[in-house]
Structure 1
């Protein structure tokens, strides 16, 4: 699934993770584990997802489970893209 690699890049760029982004895996926890991921960063990530993938994310689709792991975020994008 190429979305994991895309997600690592997006998270690295959006959160300013630098080389730490390369260490992320599908099961890497996000909320509560990545210090840079605060409420403002969530908004930036959602905006970046919409812009990068040409998707629209409704408010009711956003919950903590979405940001549980890199894989959960990638799976959400895959579903939105119909993969």
Structure 2
């Protein structure tokens, strides 16, 4: 079962990655839950991570604490969406 609002969170994460990383809409649309992110996308360096997370905070009206940011959360598109959904859909 998909939690209510999760498709919206996924769309927001997808749009944020496209905007911040300068990815085409088509490329961002091709991301699946298993698409690797940090370490696999050259556009997603440590500075871009900070920008993506700040933008997600604004777009989803969430607060991301420093101790919540780790490699697992940024490993795949699905992991990032799941993290954002947990924060946004409480």
Instruction: Tell me the TM-score normalized by structure 2.
Output: 0.84
Whose helix fraction is larger, Structure 1's or Structure 2's? 1
Q: Which secondary structure does the structure 1 equivalent of 2:72 belong to?
A: helix
Q: Which 4+ stretches in 1 moved above 4 angstroms?
A: none
Q: Which secondary structure does the structure 2 equivalent of 1:13 belong to?
A: helix
In the alignment, what sits opposite 1:79?
Answer: 86
The range that moved more, 44-53 or 15-24, is: 15-24
1:35 aligns to 2:38 (yes or no): no
1:15-26 counterparts in 2 under 5 A?
A: 15-18=21-24, 19-26=26-33
User: Does the CA contact (< 8 Å) of 1:4 and 1:26 recur in 2?
Assistant: no
Query: Please, which of 43, 52, 69 is the counterpart of residue 76 of structure 2?
Result: 69
Q: Which runs of 5+ in 2 are unaligned?
A: 1-5
Question: How many pairs align?
Answer: 83
In the alignment, what sits opposite 1:46?
Answer: 53
CA distance in 2: counterparts of 1:50 and 1:32, whole angstroms:
22
